[in-house]
């Protein structure tokens, strides 16, 4: 194992406390810090030290793929790390968005020569585990519930949307199409009519909160079609391909397939390609958006997901207890969440403080974590 230096992304929706507190730096930070990237994604690759100089993890993988990734991973994913581990800290809502499945990504990338919607040929399923109380929108809820919520606002212009929803799940596509195709000149008036309604309850609170940042965005109403999720620390949300979602507020650990393919669906000043989004979305009711931790060993939990790109484990150890042992294939990325951890893969040992990370190659053996603290271990999902 060796130390891994991540990269912080300063998107405007980021927090000035979440990542700084994790790393033990003064708060508030000088500007918004949205994401800490711990991987080899070319957009912001992490680095390792070589003779006092930072060297991109991306470059190391290309130079020595067999050592870093192993033959099995190279055979499945090529000379790239298939997952990206992040710490995400949001103080304002992110855009409503969805990601293509693997087949859609390959076809979209081949056809989209201008790189308008598809910037790489990979899918982007995601898992987010809450570190703090975390608020998000995730997956379509029962259309009858959505129709009742919208009806309560008493906005006559929304009657076609409600009519579509009342037909059941098959009407979700038409409801989304109607809202995202709303005439630009009438969008501010639509949101204003929704806000003017004398309505109480979670749906009204959500619409009013989103309209603060997006007063002329029909995504304020699209949000009412989705589950409004409040995660406790340790709970997670799983976002497979085609799942419409948005992070609203909080800090969490996120792991995803290493891709940048995002199709937006509102709550954004950026371009929304309605036709392509409708093609990618899965118009299915998500019965249970929250994923709870699954214990797999003393002090070790995971959140099972049906993909080969990644897996995530959380490890908790104490100074007077035994170390945790994980027989997970390399490469492994370890993030110390709290306290202090020693991490040994049989090749090298590192000691991590809160906010620090390490990486080990595929040549490493069983992962042994000791000390007194909490950490997250990211690997591929190949077993």
Catalytic residues: 264
Burial class (CB in 10 A: 0-12, 13-18, 19+), 67: middle
* Cα distance between residue 110 and residue 50, in whole Å: 37
């Amino acid at each position: 194992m060796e130390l891994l230096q991540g990269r912080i992304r300063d998107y405007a929706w980021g927090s000035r406390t979440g990542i700084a507190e994790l790393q033990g730096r003064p708060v508030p930070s000088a500007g918004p810090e949205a994401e800490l990237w711990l991987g080899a994604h070319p957009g912001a690759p992490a680095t390792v030290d070589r003779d006092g100089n930072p060297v991109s993890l991306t470059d190391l993988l290309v130079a020595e793929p067999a050592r870093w990734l192993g033959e099995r991973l190279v055979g499945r994913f090529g000379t790239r790390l298939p997952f990206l581990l992040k710490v995400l800290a949001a103080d304002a809502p992110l855009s409503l968005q969805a990601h293509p499945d693997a087949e859609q990504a390959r076809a979209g990338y081949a056809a989209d020569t201008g790189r308008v919607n598809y910037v790489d040929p990979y899918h982007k399923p995601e898992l987010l585990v809450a570190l703090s109380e975390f608020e998000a929108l995730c997956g379509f809820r029962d259309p009858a519930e959505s129709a009742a919520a919208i009806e309560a606002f008493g906005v006559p212009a929304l009657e076609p949307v409600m009519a579509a929803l009342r037909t059941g799940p098959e009407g979700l596509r038409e409801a989304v199409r109607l809202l995202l195709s709303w005439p630009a000149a009438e969008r501010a008036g639509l949101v204003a009519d929704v806000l003017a309604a004398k309505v109480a309850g979670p749906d009204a609170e959500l619409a009013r909160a989103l309209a603060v940042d997006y007063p002329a965005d029909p995504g304020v109403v699209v949000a009412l079609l989705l589950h409004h999720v409040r995660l406790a620390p340790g709970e997670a949300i799983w976002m497979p391909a085609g799942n419409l979602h948005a992070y609203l507020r909080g800090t969490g650990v996120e792991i995803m397939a290493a891709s940048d393919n995002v199709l937006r669906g509102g709550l954004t000043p950026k371009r929304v390609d309605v036709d392509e989004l409708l093609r990618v979305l899965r118009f299915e009711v998500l019965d249970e958006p929250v994923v709870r931790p699954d214990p797999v060993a003393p002090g070790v939990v995971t959140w099972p997901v049906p993909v080969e790109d990644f897996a995530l484990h959380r490890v908790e150890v104490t100074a007077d207890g035994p170390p945790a042992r994980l027989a997970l294939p390399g490469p492994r990325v370890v993030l110390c969440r709290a306290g202090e951890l020693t991490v040994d893969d049989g090749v090298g040992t590192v000691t991590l403080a809160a906010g620090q990370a390490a990486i080990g190659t595929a040549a490493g053996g069983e992962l042994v974590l000791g000390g007194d603290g909490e950490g997250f271990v990211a690997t591929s999902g190949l077993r």
